[in-house]
Amino acid sequence: MKARLPKGYEKSGGPTNIQQLARQAQKMQEEMDSASKELEEKEYSATAGGGAVTAVVTGKLEVKSLEIKKDVVDPEDIDMLSDLIIASVNMAINDARNERSDIMDKISGGLNVPGLF
């Protein structure tokens, strides 16, 4: 039985295409690294409770600041304040993650090869 090469392999120069693919992958990796560095420097803010709590998160998914309006602080209802803090922090983190995912998908064309990027 004769071994078959992938369609177009003989006509395309074979190893030359592999080198071209490697260069494209390297360029894509460089673009992703650059975008990742830019995203890490960005800040994302989100509010909860009609602006009662505002959380600011970095692109590294670290909480940078948390602003709580005085009128929302009720010693009798700490649970509500806790819920507002959690909600605002989670929204800011989701915004950061979603933007990172969108940008990386644009760069990679949706390609998802584990360990490559």
CB atoms within 10 A of CB 49: 17
Instruction: Decide if 32 is inside a domain.
Output: yes
Chain segment 17-28, per-residue pLDDT in tens: 788 888 888 888
Instruction: Decide if 54 is inside a domain.
Output: yes
pLDDT at position 18, please? 83
Q: How many domains does the chain have?
A: 1
Provide the residue range defining the domain that includes 45.
17-108
Question: What is d(CA 25, CA 18) in angstroms, rounded to the nearest whole number?
Answer: 10
Q: Is pLDDT at 113 greater than 80 in this prediction?
A: no
Beta pairing class for 63-68 and 53-58: antiparallel
Instruction: Decide if 12 is inside a domain.
Output: no
Q: For residue 60, what is the domain's CATH number? A: 3.30.1310.10
> Any idea how long the chain is?
117
Q: What is the pTM of this model?
A: 0.71
Instruction: Decide if 115 is inside a domain.
Output: no
Question: What is d(CA 47, CA 89) in angstroms, rounded to the nearest whole number?
Answer: 8
On average, the pLDDT of the chain sits at 85
